[in-house]
Amino acid sequence: MSNENEDLTSDTTVEQRALSMLHEAFAAARAGDATALLRLLTRGVPANVRTEKGDGLLMLATYHGHEAAARVLLEHGADPALANDRGQTPLGGVAFKGDVACARLLLDHGARVDTPMADGKTPATLAAMFDHVAILELLRERGANFAEQTAPLELARAMGATRAVAWLEARTA
């Protein structure tokens, strides 16, 4: 009987250590602690591990604007297109936030410029809605075809995103 208890204690300790490492990784991604992320990834934390809401480490790092942490994750196999449980992608998140550096990094590592999220919105649509012209310019440089998309212009108008409306009208007329 004592051997069973020792095994259970040992297994519980392993589980607790694993959970502790995962929680540390999520906190490091949110805080942008690239050094801690590198240490955790090399100790076996999967680059595409997700929170209970489906947010991957890369989504957490990029959404909070942590380019260095995102770079570490991408260099260790994080999927730049990994959507969360709401169908949101890291590129969609940075388009919403207006973070050009993280958007460029994601695109450089394989994020697709026109991939719609679960609600049908593309990164360009989100950038237009929230008046992030620099993101629109980057997406166009990387191949987004605004002439074939009506949603960015329509939703930018609806949201009162005047700079994005002017930018889109100049390129779709």
Q: Residue 122 sits in a domain of what CATH number?
A: 1.25.40
The predicted pLDDT at position 173 comes to 63
Do 23 and 105 belong together in one domain? yes
pLDDT at position 103 over 50:
yes
Same domain, 105 and 120: no
Domain finish residue from 112, 128, 158: 112
Of the three residues 60, 90, 112, the one that is the final residue of a domain is 112
Give the whole-angstrom CA distance, residue 75 versus residue 114.
Answer: 23
Task: Say whether both 41 and 95 belong to one domain.
Answer: yes
Collapse the DSSP code of 56 into the 3-class scheme (helix H, G, I; strand E, B; otherwise coil) and give the result. strand
126 and 99 co-located in one domain: no
Average pLDDT over residues 38-50: 97
Whether residues 84 and 161 share a domain: the answer is: no
**Boundaries of domain holding 92:** 1-112
Q: How far is CA 7 from CA 4, 11, 18, 20, 21, in A?
A: 5, 6, 16, 20, 21
Say yes or no: 129 and 155 in one domain. yes
Q: How far apart are CA 77 and CA 67, in angstroms?
A: 15
Last residue of a domain, one of 61, 82, 112: 112
- pLDDT at 41 (0 to 100): 97
The reply to whether 129 and 92 lie within a common domain is no
Quick one: 46 and 101 in the same domain? yes
Q: How confident is the model at residue 48 (pLDDT cuts 50, 70, 90)?
A: very high
Distance CA 69, CA 34 (A): 4
- Look at residue 6 in the predicted model and tell me its pLDDT: 40
Residue pair 127/135 in contact (Cβ under 8 Å)? The answer is: yes
Buried b (16+ CB within 10 A) or exposed e, 97-119: bbbbebbbbbbebebbbbebbee
Do residue 52 and residue 19 come from a single domain?
yes
Number of structural domains the chain divides into = 2
Please check whether residue 129 is in contact with residue 100, taking contact to mean a CB–CB distance below 8 angstroms.
no
**Average pLDDT value for the chain:** 91
- Confirm if 102 and 75 have CB atoms less than 8 A apart: no
Same domain, 77 and 151: no
70/137 same-domain check: no
| 158, 99: one domain | no
Query: Could you tell me if 53 and 84 are in contact, meaning their C-beta atoms sit under 8 angstroms apart?
Result: yes
d(CA 49, CA 108): 21
pTM: 0.89
